[in-house]
């Protein structure tokens, strides 16, 4: 029977994603990944190379998946706030990517994997912010995006800090989401107001 190479790669990537997310690059074990995937560990070296390269493949796949699942829709500050809320929802449901990125930062510092590919994807995302907030500079769009990504990524990787600072009420996640959406919307509005030639409608005053 012919060996299903693509299926084996999928199984290995799924197993590696769980292993790296839980244990980081240094703590992950190739033997555990192979056992979880149900294949010989030699397949890992055959298809992906060394453990570092398998980590690269896992992280690149997760980044592409999240970028495609959480696009920026529409235009204006509220659209950007909506994006922030949906990114928070995505990471609340599945915190794999934030954990992988934090492991990468801790273990590799500024040496990112798949630099050319990831640079292209990041440039695309910054361009999407600029499209949504017409008139905002590339530098401001990048800083705005970094700020929101940091806020959303921090939720699944810093739960202890959140509990210490804000407690663990039943509505905690919803409150945190609302705060991130509000913050993202206000920041986007402020940047638009400062953009040359742009005027942003004022937020209606409260009726009470």
Which residues, in sequence order, are CB contacts of 131 under 8 Å at separation 6+? Answer: 72, 75
In a domain, 14, yes or no: no
What average pLDDT does the segment 16-44 reach? 94
So what's the pLDDT on residue 110?
A: 73
pLDDT band for position 198 (cuts 50, 70, 90): low
C-beta separation of 21 from 98 below 8 A: no
Tens of pLDDT, residues 121-153: 888 899 999 999 999 999 999 999 999 999 999
Rounded alpha-carbon distances, angstroms, from residue 65 to 61, 70, 121 = 6, 9, 11
Mean pLDDT of 70-86: 96
CATH number at residue 144: 1.10.357.10
Residue-wise pLDDT tens digits, 33-42: 999 999 998 9
Give the total number of structural domains in the chain. Answer: 1
Q: Which residues contact 158 (CB under 8 A, 6 or more apart)?
A: none
Model-level pTM?
Answer: 0.86
38: left (phi over 0), alpha (psi -120 to 50) or beta: left
pLDDT at 177 over 90: yes
Residue 141 counted as domain residue: yes
Structural domain includes residue 15: no
């Amino acid at each position: 029977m012919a060996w299903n190479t693509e299926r084996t790669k999928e199984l290995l990537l799924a197993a590696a994603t769980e292993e790296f997310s839980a244990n980081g690059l240094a703590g992950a074990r190739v033997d555990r990944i192979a056992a979880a995937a149900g294949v010989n560990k030699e397949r890992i070296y055959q298809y992906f190379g060394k453990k570092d390269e398998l980590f690269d493949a896992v992280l690149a796949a997760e980044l592409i998946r999240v970028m495609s699942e959480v696009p920026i829709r529409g235009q204006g500050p509220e659209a950007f706030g909506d994006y922030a809320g949906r990114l928070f929802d995505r990471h609340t449901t599945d915190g794999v990517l934030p954990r992988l990125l934090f492991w990468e930062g801790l273990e590799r510092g500024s040496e990112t994997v798949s630099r050319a590919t990831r640079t292209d994807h990041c440039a695309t995302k910054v361009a999407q912010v600029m499209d949504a907030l017409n008139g905002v500079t590339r530098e401001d769009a990048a800083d705005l995006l970094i700020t929101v990504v940091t806020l959303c990524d921090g939720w699944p990787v810093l739960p202890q800090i959140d509990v210490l600072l804000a407690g663990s009420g039943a509505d905690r996640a919803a409150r945190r989401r609302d705060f991130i959406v509000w913050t993202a919307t206000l920041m986007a509005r402020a940047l638009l107001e400062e953009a040359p030639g742009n005027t942003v409608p004022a937020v209606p005053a409260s009726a009470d």
